[in-house]
Structure 1
Amino acid sequence: MHSDQLRLIVTSETSAAARHRRAQLSDFLRIRRARLAPADVGLVTAGRRRTPGLRREEVAVLAAVGVSWYTWLEQGRDINVSAEVVDAVGKALRLSTAERAHLYALAGLRPPCADLRADRGAAVTPELRQLLDGWSPRPAVLRDRHWNLLAVNDAAAAIYGYGPEDHNCLVTFFTSARHRDAHLHWAAVAPAVVAAFRADVAHAPDDPEYRRVVDELNAVSPEFAELWARHDVQVPGQMVKAVRHPEAGELFFDTTSLAVVDHPAWILELSNPRPGTGTAERLHTR
């Protein structure tokens, strides 16, 4: 097949996908507009209406956009759409966070990052605590995006050396002698740990909580300061944790980090005994 023919096929498929997306956008806006009554958005109307919901011109006024432009948007026409306008339309239609992200996607834009501030101070749910406790005798840790510890199960406390005074994974890693002694290859994994934290900071470099953690460690840990100055970045992923337990001996875990869907700023770290290391057998005998 000639390259020109292939290019035409690709273009046709892309155009078809865009038309399908705009058709879904049209349906979504129309249905969401129909579910709102004028009184829901503070509008006063007189007389009876033939159709339920808001009119297009009312949504346009609430969103501070032109009536013709909003009409074209709801009709699924191929027009340029900005994030600011999508936000305004989403607010006018009283969309939820999930609906707002959906509107972004249908408009051909990257959905905004979730407002991670909403999770600050939120209590750990009983369901998550039950999951952590049920994971024993394997270690399980729940932390936030700043690596602040939210909850650990008994296995994580005993095996990784977390105590009641520990409040941040990274701070504990560099300042706790007990935690350091528990790791078989602490010096070897330290650069990767800092590089993974640097990757997380890159998502919100002006976040004051990130700055607080970095400033605290720079002040008390020369090892962290030296590694932080390297500016190495490594996306966190699957990792192997090797630890030494005073009773069970050397233990090796495959650790996976999972996002908590209903709390975007929370990360669940679950550790499983690494096959072939005898860790599973020693866990049950400690």
Structure 2
Amino acid sequence: MTEILRNAVQECEQRPNVVDGGPDELGKLLVFWRERLDPRRIAGVDTQRRRLKPGLTQAEVAHLTGVGLTWYRALEKGTRHDFSDRFLLRLAMTLRLSETEQAVLFQLAKGQAPPQRPQLSEADKVEPDMQLMLDQMAPYPAYLSNLCWDIVANNPALDDWFPWLPYERNMMRLAFLYPEAQQQLVPWKEGWARPFLAQVRVALAMYPDHEGLHVLKDDLLSGNPVARELWAENEAIHHPDGHVRGIRLPNSNRVMPVKIMALAPMGNMTMRFITLLPQETGQE
């Protein structure tokens, strides 16, 4: 085992029989990571059901990562698969792995490091006064995104609503490539996926030479069959300002209607200043 693996599994070694260096080490770590999860912090998980063991069930993890239960059970038993980076990133988000634990996951599963996260350009860097404005939106979640929908800054309220933000900062990729996010955005297809893709179409029309937008579109269409279906309908929406959509909040199964307030900084009109305003008491 490499030095990075020895360092990363120290916390796991506190639990007997979790790490032994054998061929099923990945499966044992997956069980440990799954059982330490708090179901109340994951939207779309039934927190009312009686649980015989801590954490999430295998069925819940399989559902949230977009794979079959039989496939995931075999994974925890140590069965090797041809893992894609996309699946491992979904699994890391569902299991709430730290950066070091993600490195362990990729090393054991593929023998390589996780893909590097893209760095923000100079144009995307946020000034302190803009961050102050985001913070002043509390208790309402607020964030600033760039032309490609990368969240470049947000206030703490957004972290409370969306615990998966540390794992994927692009709103479009979250919505289309991560089943867990699809559990939280309600109704996903008509309320979120359809208008999101319509916005991507407008952005591509306005900035046809922007490589990042073309990469984003290709990622969404290749990674989600519903995205391909919706893209063929050729809808176009410029912005979501004033739209009311549903969000299932963590710690409950309530769906909260929220109004999306969308603004643009005059200094960079490709940026989006988004605030989410709850409209009424959530419904079950």
Q: Give the TM-score normalised by the residue count of structure 2.
A: 0.52
Quick check: 1:198–1:232 contact (8 Å CA) kept in 2?
Answer: yes
Bigger Rg over Cα: 1
- Of 236, 246, 250, which residue of structure 1 is paired with 2:250? 246
Report which of the two has the higher share of helix: 1
The Cα shift of 1:142 comes to 0.5
2:273 corresponds to? 268
- Of 154, 172, 178, which residue of structure 2 is paired with 1:170? 172
Amino acid at match of 1:217: L
- Of 217, 220, 223, which residue of structure 1 is paired with 2:220? 217
The Cα shift of 1:206 comes to 2.2
The Cα shift of 1:121 comes to 4.2
Amino acid at match of 1:142: L
- Of 206, 227, 248, which residue of structure 1 is paired with 2:230? 227
Quick check: 2:244–2:257 contact (8 Å CA) kept in 1?
Answer: yes
Quick check: 1:240–1:253 contact (8 Å CA) kept in 2?
Answer: yes
Counterpart Cα distance in 1 of 2:275 and 2:245: 11
Counterpart Cα distance in 1 of 2:196 and 2:249: 21
2:149 corresponds to? 147
Amino acid at match of 1:265: T
Amino acid at match of 2:134: L
Counterpart Cα distance in 2 of 1:238 and 1:120: 30
Counterpart Cα distance in 2 of 1:167 and 1:121: 17
Unaligned runs of 5+ in 2: 1-120
**More relative contact order, 1 or 2 (CA 8 Å, 6+ apart):** 2
The ranges of structure 1 where at least 4 consecutive aligned residues each deviate by more than 6 angstroms after the TM superposition are: none
**What secondary structure sits across from 1:264 in the alignment?**
coil
The Cα shift of 1:155 comes to 1.8
Q: CA deviation digits over 1:63-103, x for unaligned, max 9?
A: xxxxxxxxxxxxxxxxxxxxxxxxxxxxxxxxxxxxxxxxx
2:55 corresponds to? none
2:127 corresponds to? 125
Compared with structure 1, are the counterparts of its residues 240 and 185 closer, same or farther at alpha carbon in structure 2 (3 Å cutoff)? Answer: same
The Cα shift of 1:134 comes to 2.1
Quick one: percent identity of the two aligned structures?
22
Amino acid at match of 2:265: V
Counterpart Cα distance in 2 of 1:129 and 1:177: 30
Unaligned runs of 5+ in 1: 1-118
Counterpart Cα distance in 2 of 1:122 and 1:154: 19
In the alignment of these two chains, the number of paired residues is 161
Counterpart Cα distance in 2 of 1:206 and 1:262: 21
1:77 corresponds to? none
Quick check: 1:146–1:209 contact (8 Å CA) kept in 2?
Answer: yes
Amino acid at match of 1:262: G
- Of 181, 199, 202, which residue of structure 1 is paired with 2:202? 199
The Cα shift of 1:235 comes to 2.5
Counterpart Cα distance in 1 of 2:197 and 2:260: 17
2:140 corresponds to? 138
The Cα shift of 1:264 comes to 2.2
Q: CA deviation digits over 1:18-52, x for unaligned, max 9?
A: xxxxxxxxxxxxxxxxxxxxxxxxxxxxxxxxxxx
Counterpart Cα distance in 1 of 2:154 and 2:164: 8
Counterpart Cα distance in 2 of 1:181 and 1:155: 19
The Cα shift of 1:229 comes to 2.5
Counterpart Cα distance in 2 of 1:162 and 1:152: 13
The Cα shift of 1:185 comes to 0.8
